[in-house]
Amino acid sequence: MTADFATMLSAVFPEIGLVVLMVVVLGLDLLWRDERVRRLGWITAAGCLFLVVLSLVFALPPAEPLLIWGGMLRLDAAGFVFRIVFLLGAALTALFSLGQDDLQKHGEYYGLMLVSTLGMSLMASAADLIMLYLAIELTSIPLYVLAGFRFRDDKSVEAGIKYLLFGAMTSAVMLYGLSLLYGFSGTTQIAELAEQIDRHSVPVSLLVISLVLVLVGFGFKVSAVPFHFWAPDVYEGAPTPVAGYLSTASKAAGFAVLMRVILTGFWAVTPIWMDLIAGLAIVSMTVGNLLALTQTNIKRLLAYSSIAQAGYILVGVAAGTSFGMSGAVYYLMAYLLTNLVAFGVVSVVGQRVGSDDLSAYAGLSRRAPAVALILLISMLSLGGIPPFAGFVGKVLVFAAAVEAGRWWLALIGVINSIVALYYYLIVLKSAYLLRSEDEQKPLQLMAGWRVALLVCVTGVLVLGVVIAPWFEWAGKAGWALSIY
Amino acid sequence: MTPVMVVFGLLGVVVILTALGMLLSRNAIYSALFLVLNFATVAVLYIILGAPFISLVQITVYAGSIMVMFLFVIMLLGAERLPGSDRLRRQRWIAAILGLVFVAQVILFIFFRGQLTAPVGTPPATLGSPQAVGTTLFTTYALPFEVTGAILVVATVGAILLTRGAALPYSPIRKEEK
Amino acid sequence: MMMPLAYYVGLSAIMFVLGIIGVLVRRNALVVFMSLELMFNAANLLFVAFSAYFQLLTGQIFVFFVMTVAAAEVAVGLALMVEIFRTKHSIDLDQMSEMKG
């Protein structure tokens, strides 16, 4: 299974493109000393979309998974699908960041975002523990800086420090788990782990220890309970587009590595990790939803909501089947668009009204009917109401759980979805029923925001109505994850 | 008791004591210095384990540059005298993990004592030599090596941005706005 | 030159737990950060020990990369701390109560 150099180069072609794009953005930032800097957001978004097109044309995955670059990367459908998800996420985030002067006037903002996207893309296709660890750090380090990007805002810098300390702590724990895993198997190749562990007849209890340690790291990335403490604070303090990016692309990357490592590497203890993941799913859904009920700041509310959403996705992973993984991938695609549009609306309102409180949304339906409608769609999609994308995602993961004989997990998920509807409707109540004094003042939307909102909403509708083609991709990705 | 065991015992005691010293020092500078000693001792263990290259990197990168950076920041901020460990922080959730890990470690140690008494010999000198490490880095691990380049660039950009950002408020457009 | 692997595992376990305790009990963000470095070193020691045990180079390569990453992380972390110190004149984690966890 060796590939020639041309294949290897074309496989990482989008990644190389991201590096080039970063250099271009940083270079233009240096050259443009005036208003033109504002165009960098458009350039970043256009560049990411261009890379999406390029990878659709040139970097299609082979029918059979292929190990490249000395076994560092695995060229398969999963890496391909996730890469497109990340690139789309980065493009939309870049558009939502327009108009925020403290962000868009620094070209480095976009540069860091692109490097982080590069890290995520490598995370999703890493086939070696060394590559995996480096990719995770390549994703995290720029995100630490981005979370603290509003230098003069204490909250933002604190968000950066908290994110960094929690991130470094969990990554140290994960690294210890990885070192044990290396000790049990004598290999860093994820695909060889199971076989070597079998050969060395490693006791189950030892393997479970390293499983738990590794899960700490991944749990942090996907912000599952009990590794969620950073999320509300960081989302609240970080610039809103960054929070949106953290809650979607970064979470999707976490799920990509979680599924890859756990399915392949911990094959020997499959029943145990299934139970562990099911447990994580239950506490994440329940705790996330219950804490979200009492929030009055929309960013904190969305943070807890995203913790609960991680729980639903974990339901699909806990099924442990190829179908479960496909459901999780579909859910992640739907969730990326839905949550990005939710944070997009928060960003728009935060910019124009100057507050992230729920009360700032009073009278939104009269001030900006279109924005309120978009908020409605995103909240209903997050709540799992047809015909939006979130509904399909939920149906798939719950069906996978039932199919795998874990009907109770699906039941808890359904109950939780109903509870969650309550706080999503509270947001909508603010926007639609409450009146405010300045409801005559319409909200001005920048062109970039319009484009991004429109793209997201279209995506949410398309993923909710036309299911087959997207599910085909999710299915391929799920299949690629569950064979090795 | 072989001589290696005596050396290991001594080094192990130093490692644990310096770690404790870092933990308990009220003065952040002492903490940093204890940690330097800790890293240097671990570097000696690396030599015993037949990893001379890693050992030297440990001394230059860890004990050298990283800890110097720490000391520099401590002195820059004048933050050496700060509240010690008089009370626990409220992040109790870490306590849960700690308990879990601690129990896990004990189990681990017992199992390894029972099952893997296999000794660690000194590998052939060629295994961890700079040449072998370099060859492997630039062949099998060429892609990760490139990735570390990206990590270092991004860290540099980030660190400069963070420390310069506040001093020079907005970079380019600032002038026109005034 | 024989040493049972168990002793290396034990030593690294102790380092790791001491690191976690440091992260838990200290309030000075810089010392918390140093404790994190201790945890990374525990993992590194384990990697090198296993590398010698299996007579494989991969463990040492992993350590090399971990050190690079640690350097980058420290640079960003210290920059953030300098930044917060400018406005708050403190790096006490308990005083970061702008937000409630």
Residues 2-61 of C with CB under 8 A from B: 2-11, 13-28, 30-31, 33-35, 37-38, 41, 44-45, 48-49, 51-53, 55, 57, 60-61
* Cα separation, C82 vs C62, whole angstroms: 30
| Distance separating alpha carbons of residues A60 and A55, to the nearest angstrom | 6
Give the pLDDT confidence score for residue A3 in this predicted structure: 66
Q: List, for residues B14-69, the tens digit of each pLDDT value.
A: 999 999 999 888 888 999 999 999 999 999 999 988 888 999 999 999 888 899 99
A384 — alpha (psi -120 to 50), left (phi > 0) or beta?
A: left
pLDDT above 70 for B104: no
Q: Hey, what CATH topology would domain B1-83 get?
A: Four Helix Bundle (Hemerythrin (Met), subunit A) (1.20.120)
- pLDDT bracket for residue A480 (50, 70, 90): confident
Kindly determine whether residue A216 and residue B97, on different chains, have CB atoms separated by under 8 Å: yes
- The tokens of A163 are what? 């994110």
Q: Report ipTM (2 d.p.).
A: 0.94
| Of residues A19, A145, A206, nearest to B161 (C-beta) | A145
What residue ranges define each of the domains in chain C, with the CATH number in brackets? 27-90 (1.10.287.3510)
Q: What percent of chain C has pLDDT over 90?
A: 39
- Which of A64-78, A185-199, A215-229, B74-88 has the least mean pLDDT? B74-88
Distances (CA, A) of B168 to A66, B174, C38, C88: 49, 9, 35, 19
A314 has a chain B CB within 8 A of its CB: no
Answer yes or no: are the C-beta atoms of A372 and A364 closer than 8 Å. Answer: yes
> Residue A307's pLDDT is what?
94
Chain-chain contact of C60 with B65 (C-beta, under 8 angstroms): no
Q: How far apart are CA A15 and CA B149, in angstroms?
A: 14
pTM: 0.92
| Confidence category of residue B87, pLDDT binned at 50, 70, 90 | very low
Q: Which residue of C has its CA nearest to B10?
A: C11
Kindly state whether B115 is in contact with chain A, defined as any CB-CB distance less than 8 angstroms.
Answer: yes
Number of H helices, E strands in chain B: 8, 1
At A98 the pLDDT is: 87
Question: Distance between CA A52 and CA A56 in Å, rounded?
Answer: 6
* H or E element in which residue A74 lies: strand A73-75
All residues of chain C having their beta carbon less than 8 Å from the beta carbon of residue B56 are none
CA–CA separation, A444 vs A30, rounded Å?
30
- Give A151's DSSP letter: T
Q: Which residue of C has its CA nearest to A177?
A: C43
Q: Are B168 and C88 in contact (CB under 8 A)?
A: no
Q: What residues in B contact A209, CB-CB < 8 Å?
A: 104, 107-108
What pairs with residue A189 in β-bridges? A128
* Cross-chain Cβ contact C100/A151 below 8 Å: no
Closest CA to A218 of A284, A159, A161: A284
C4, β-bridge pairs:
B119
Question: Per-residue pLDDT for B153 more than 60?
Answer: yes
Q: What is the mean pLDDT of residues A395-402?
A: 94
Tell me if chain A has a CB within 8 Å of the CB of C80.
yes
CA distance A135 to A130: 9
Cross-chain CB nearest to B154 (options A102, A105, A141): A141
CA C20/CA B67 separation, integer angstroms: 19
d(CA C54, CA C51): 5
Contact A238, A159 (CB under 8 A): yes
Enumerate residues 6+ apart whose C-beta is below 8 A from A375.
Answer: A342, A345, A361, A364, A427, A428, A431
Give the tokens for residue C16: 């790791």
A335: number of Cβ within 10 Å: 28
Per residue, the 3-state secondary structure of chain C, as one string, reads: CCEEHHHHHHHHHHHHHHHHHHHHHCCEHHHHHHHHHHHHHHHHHHHHHHHHHHCCCHHHHHHHHHHHHHHHHHHHHHHHHHHHHHHHCCCEHHHCCCCCC
If you count them, how many residues does chain A have?
484
User: Measuring CA to CA, which residue among A80, A174, A93, A88 is closest to residue A136?
Assistant: A174
Looking at residue B171, its amino acid is S
Q: Which of A49, B113, A144 is nearest to C74 (CA)?
A: A144
Nearest to A142 among B93, B154, B166 (CB): B154
In this complex, is the C-beta atom of B71 within 8 Å of any C-beta atom belonging to chain C? no
Residue A71 with chain C: CB contacts under 8 Å: none
Predicted local distance difference test score (pLDDT) of residue B86: 44
pLDDT at residue number B177 = 39
Residue with tokens 């420090």: A161
B84 — pLDDT class (breaks 50, 70, 90): very low
The upper half-sphere exposure of residue A149, i.e. CA atoms within 13 Å in the direction of its Cβ, equals 29
Closest approach of chain C CAs to the CA of A15, in angstroms? 20
> Cβ B166–A152 below 8 Å, yes or no?
yes
B95 contacts on C by Cβ (under 8 Å): 24
Tokens of A252: 């999707």
DSSP state of A438: G
Q: Which residue has the tokens 């782990």?
A: A193
Query: Closest Cα to residue A174, out of A231, A140, A219?
Result: A219
Q: How many CB atoms lie within 10 A of CB B12?
A: 18
Q: Is C47 on the interface with A (CB under 8 A)?
A: yes
Q: How many CA atoms lie within 13 A of A268 on its CB side?
A: 25
Q: Which of A274, A350, A333 is nearest to A478 (CA)?
A: A333
Across residues C44-72, what is the average pLDDT? 92
Chain B environment of A276 (Cβ under 8 Å): none
- How many other C-beta atoms are found inside a 10 Å radius of the C-beta of residue B152? 16
CB A206 to CB B108 under 8 A?
yes
Task: Kindly state the tokens that stand for C36.
Answer: 């994190």
* Of B99 and C51, the one with more pLDDT: C51
Q: Do A141 and C54 touch (CB under 8 A)?
A: no
pLDDT value, residue A70: 83
B26 three-state secondary structure: coil
Helix axes A270-292, A204-222, angle to 10 degrees: 30
Of A329, A307, A328, A306, the residue nearest A316 (C-alpha) = A328
Average pLDDT, chain A: 89
Measured CA to CA, the distance from residue A340 to residue A331 in angstroms comes to 14
Residues of C in contact with B71 (CB under 8 A): none
pLDDT by residue (tens digit) across A337-386?
999 999 999 998 888 888 888 888 888 888 888 899 999 999 999 999 88
Rounded-to-integer distance, Cα A21 and Cα A30, Å: 14
3-state DSSP assignment of residue A68: strand
Tell me the pLDDT band of C95, cut-offs 50, 70 and 90: low
The pLDDT of residue B172: 44
Give the span between the Cα atoms of A360 and A185, in whole angstroms.
Answer: 55
What pLDDT score was predicted for residue C99?
44
Find the mean pLDDT for residues C17-25: 84
Each residue's pLDDT tens digit, A281-336:
999 999 999 999 988 899 999 999 999 999 999 999 999 889 999 999 999 999 99
